Amino acid sequence: MKNLINWLRTTRLGYLCLLLILIWLKTLFAYYVDFTLGATGALQQIILFINPLGISAALLSLTLYIRSPRRAYLTAGVIYLLLTVLLLVNVLYYREFTDFMTVGTVMSVKNVSSGLGGSFVNMIIWRDAIYFIDLALALIAVLGYGAWNLWRFIHHQPARWPHFGLTLDAKPLGYHVPQAVTAVSVAVFAVTMAVSELNRPQLLTRTFDRNYIVKYLGLAPFTVYDAFQTAQNNQVRASADGADMDQVLAYTKAHYAAPDPTRFGTAKGKNVIIIHLESFQQFLIGAKIDGQEVTPFLNSLIKDQNTLSFDNFYHQVGLGKTSDAENMLETSTFGLSTGSLFSSLGSDNTFQGAPALLEQYAGYTSAVFHGGEGTFWNRTNTYKSLGYDYFFDGSFYAHDSGTTTEYGIKDKLMFAETSKYLEHLQQPFYAKIITTTNHYPFFITNTDTDFPDAGTDDAYINGYFRTAHYLDAALKEFFAYLKRSGLYDHSLIMMYGDHYGISNDRNQTLASVLNQSVSDPTGDTGSDWTSFDDANLQRVPLIFHAPGLKGGIDHTYGGEIDVLPTLMHLLGVDTRQFVQFGTDLLSPAHNAVVAFRNHNFVTPQYTVLGSTVYRNSTGEVVTPDAALKKKLAAAQQSVDDRLTLSDTLATKNLLRFYVPSGFTPVDPTKADFTNSLKLMLQAEAQHGAQSTSLYSRNQDETAIGHYVTDAPEVAKDRSVITQYPSAVADQATPVIPRPDGKQLIKSQ
Ligand code: GP9
Ligand code: MN
């Protein structure tokens, strides 16, 4: 034993072994504690156990070729540091996204701005010390030595270097030792690859999901593989031509679902107000904490006879989360299998999005409102590509201290401030309002809500119900305003939850609150919790409300991909020639197989997760007979076809080869979002007596006086919602003369 410790301490190979053992242990800790890799059977367990070894050893062995001992030791330390950072970043990322960090995500981080950084720090919990305690101690030692050396320098004493109990091994290694070590490491890695290929054929060519690749090959090979894929993607685009588009068109034409004629056009000509309910899951509807309804307003709205809502509606986002939801809602094409489509393709791809389609086929003006950083998820660029006329980002909102939470302006203020812009939009308008308060870390003060704490030992779950309650209260105020101002009579309001707020690793704690949740037929908690229960919780609300709309709770199975055709048909816009992968939820021909981004799926009867089939009504695992197998294979095919074709469309940027008849492709360079207010007011002025904005219809009177909110910031100073923030106020002045010379736009 003593000899072994000495060997580890005093030889180069020993030092490398030490680092290898440490990174191996850390990785195994992550595999078993932080990641859910789903290794089943002895073979998979063995692969999982040894897969961190080969690649780490191969990388560390490279330092054996460095002759200078100090440089070799330092390089090995740096490699160890990088492997640790890769691991830790993935642990944190996984905690939020239940997936691994991809090169695409890293590359788009500059677009995603600083928001994720803030969340990342919030993600760290005590046990993460395992990953960096050694590095932290080393850093402290280095700093300590630095200070000591300064003292020694002043006192004319020679410097001393930290040695961490190691002795630098100055002996150069024989010529063959480095080669032998590298060869053995590579061989270990090759064996893991070969065994993986046997156990899971076509692992890399089919890329089932990231979990699989990490489970079989490890984190570092996954990252390298992913980088390679990204580079390849860039090439793919260059190789595309019009013939690829024909294949997509053949599919979407063949799978077009004609609208139910009794529903088609029933909301024709109405304004569309889309409210993006951040991180809002279906289980919130009807849920109670301490006997109090979490969402009393939405609960009553759903019962209203003018409300059409769906209770088997799933989010289908991938890693792009909010941006994936937005992309599906506005294009009826899927997000990417990796990263965010908005971030990676939003600036350059050709889109045929809802704002442009509704403008060109139904005369809508479009605007999108988000009270945070405009660059987040590359929104500013992507919204231009989608054809939005105006984007009111955080710079158009009062961002005084106390008015914001992490991702943007607080929801109550968001709706109130949005209203003073909304009233200048030409009608009919298509307006999307993105809420943010109900976002991880779900923080809200007692001044903003008095809703009770759910009392679990998970602060995020407790906060989630409180922020959701706050959002519900904000919606109530906004609806009241819409009614008082008169906008309500001419509007179709659509609300949807973009994705989960509570990630899968928290669901068991959540289950104790939901107990026999309506959205989980099994009522599982604790040890009988399964992936089926997780899948059930991926339901999010989809709600349409308009005076005169035929309401009811619709149990049709569907997902975010299906919203655009549903909405367009309600508005009376024919979708036959558009490239859409979803189908109208109200159509008799609707495809009720709901595809998750990882190719798992849900049908009205079954939930298929990998190779496991669950019966929806009972949650039990079923072994399909021949007939069911055939049915499920067809469903899987439909899922794969849609996802694959949608991916081809996006990665090859195929829409540049297709222009629907009567459509003019969007020119994103024409938009000037920093001047959104100015341009909107100019348009209002230029329309003169023909202007259809609420403000013009009210004889140039603002309706913002109708806005009632109990937000404490407004109680203190109402100008928070009635005045333009100083950064954009000059866009409303000087007063713009109307062409008929009759009246002037008044600034508020
Ligand atoms: C806030 C949003 C946050 O609107 O951008 O994005 P998410 O983390 O939910 O994807
Ligand atoms: Mn979101």
Q: Are 301 and 545 in contact (CB under 8 A)?
A: yes
Q: Are 581 and 575 in contact (CB under 8 A)?
A: no
User: Which pLDDT does position 484 carry in this prediction?
Assistant: 98
Q: Residue 173 C-alpha to ligand 1 middle, in angstroms? A: 53
CA distance 219 to 207: 15
Using one digit for the tens of pLDDT, what is the confidence trace for 109-141? 554 544 455 567 778 899 999 999 999 998 898
Q: Are residues 161 and 223 in the same domain?
A: yes
Q: Are residues 575 and 709 in the same domain?
A: no
Q: How far from 56 is each of 50, 180, 214, 355, CA to CA, in Å?
A: 11, 15, 14, 50
The set of residues, in sequence order, having a beta carbon less than 8 Å from that of 578 and lying 6+ positions away, is 252, 332, 352, 357, 660
Instruction: Say whether pLDDT at 445 is over 90.
Output: yes
One of 84, 295, 307, 322 is an active-site residue; which one? 322
User: Which pLDDT does position 112 carry in this prediction?
Assistant: 52
Structure tokens at 428: 């009919």
| Atom number in ligand 1 closest to CA 278 | 9
Q: Is the peptide bond before 428 cis (omega within 30 degrees of 0)?
A: yes
Strand intervals (E) in 570-654? 594-595, 601-602, 606-609, 612-615, 621-622
CA distance 161 to 252: 68
Residue 292 lies in a domain: no
Residue nearest to atom 2 of ligand 1 (CA): 322
Residue 289 lies in a domain: no
| Atom number in ligand 1 closest to CA 439 | 9
Residue nearest to atom 3 of ligand 1 (CA): 322
Instruction: Say whether pLDDT at 432 is over 90.
Output: yes
Can you tell me which residue has the tokens 């090859």? 652
Using one digit for the tens of pLDDT, what is the confidence trace for 140-158? 988 999 999 999 999 998 8
Cite the DSSP H helix spans in 155-274. 176-199, 203-206, 210-217, 219-239, 242-254
Can you tell me which residue has the tokens 């308009």? 546
Q: Are residues 418 and 565 in the same domain?
A: yes
Ligand closest to 320 (CA) is 1
Q: Residue 119 C-alpha to ligand 2 middle, in angstroms? A: 13
Closest CA to 465 of 442, 486, 481, 499: 442
Cite the DSSP H helix spans in 255-295. none
The set of residues, in sequence order, having a beta carbon less than 8 Å from that of 330 and lying 6+ positions away, is 353, 354, 355, 386, 564
**What range defines the domain where residue 104 resides?**
2-236
Q: Give the CATH number of the domain where residue 330 resides.
A: 3.40.720.10
Range in 226-235, 277-286, 311-320, 446-455 the model is least confident about: 226-235
Q: Are 431 and 271 in contact (CB under 8 A)?
A: yes
Residues with CB under 5 A from ligand 2 (ion): 278, 321-322, 498
Q: Are residues 618 and 695 in the same domain?
A: no
Could you say which of 634, 669, 704 is where a domain stops? Answer: 669
Residue 347 lies in a domain: yes
Residue 259 lies in a domain: no
DSSP 8-state code for residue 557: E
Q: Are residues 99 and 216 in the same domain?
A: yes
How would residue 169 be classed by pLDDT, with cut points 50, 70 and 90? confident
Tally the domains of the chain: 3
Separation of first and last alpha carbons in the chain: 81
Could you say which of 221, 236, 251 is where a domain stops? Answer: 236
Q: Are residues 77 and 33 in the same domain?
A: yes
Q: Residue 463 C-alpha to ligand 1 middle, in angstroms? A: 17
| Atom number in ligand 1 closest to CA 370 | 4
Instruction: Say whether pLDDT at 747 is over 50.
Output: no
Q: Residue 382 C-alpha to ligand 1 middle, in angstroms? A: 15
Number of Cβ within a 10 Å radius of residue 438: 29
CA distance 724 to 185: 64
Task: Determine whether 322 is an active site residue.
Answer: yes
- Candidate of 376, 379, 442 to mutate for ligand 1, largest count of ligand atoms within 8 Å of Cβ: 376
Residue 528 lies in a domain: no
Half-sphere exposure of 219 (CA within 13 A, CB side): 27
Q: Are residues 694 and 647 in the same domain?
A: no
Residue 290 lies in a domain: no
Ligand closest to 113 (CA) is 1
Q: Are residues 585 and 653 in the same domain?
A: yes
Question: Which helix H or strand E contains 409, and what residues bound it?
Answer: strand 408-409
pTM of the predicted structure, to 2 decimals: 0.79
Q: How far from 295 is each of 197, 466, 496, 509, CA to CA, in Å?
A: 49, 10, 14, 20
CA gyration radius, the chain: 29
What are the percentages of helix, strand and coil residues in the chain, rounded to 5?
55, 10, 35
Q: Are residues 74 and 167 in the same domain?
A: yes
Q: Are residues 660 and 692 in the same domain?
A: no
Using one digit for the tens of pLDDT, what is the confidence trace for 353-401? 999 999 999 999 999 999 998 878 889 989 999 999 999 999 999 988 7
| DSSP three-state, residue 494 | strand
Q: Residue 256 C-alpha to ligand 2 middle, in angstroms? A: 29
Could you say which of 184, 205, 236 is where a domain stops? Answer: 236
Range in 48-57, 418-427, 598-607, 739-748 the model is least confident about: 739-748
Residue nearest to atom 4 of ligand 1 (CA): 436
Residue 674 lies in a domain: no
| DSSP three-state, residue 308 | strand
What rounded mean pLDDT belongs to the chain? 91
CA distance 225 to 411: 41
Instruction: Say whether pLDDT at 54 is over 60.
Output: yes
Q: Residue 501 C-alpha to ligand 2 middle, in angstroms? A: 8
Number of Cβ within a 10 Å radius of residue 139: 11
Using one digit for the tens of pLDDT, what is the confidence trace for 231-288? 877 787 878 888 899 999 999 999 999 999 999 999 999 999 999 999 999 999 999 9
Instruction: Say whether pLDDT at 542 is over 80.
Output: yes
Q: Which residues line ligand 1 (CB under 6 A)?
A: 278, 321-322, 370, 372, 376-377, 407, 434, 436, 439
Residue nearest to atom 9 of ligand 1 (CA): 322
Residue 128 lies in a domain: yes
Per-residue pLDDT averaged across 678-704, rounded? 95
Q: Are residues 650 and 702 in the same domain?
A: no
Q: Are residues 467 and 556 in the same domain?
A: yes
Per-residue pLDDT averaged across 546-550, rounded? 97
5-13: list long-range contacts, CB under 8 Å, 24+ apart.
9/165, 9/166, 9/167, 10/166, 10/167, 10/169, 11/169, 11/171, 12/64, 12/69, 12/72, 12/73, 12/169, 12/171, 12/173, 13/64, 13/173, 13/177, 13/181
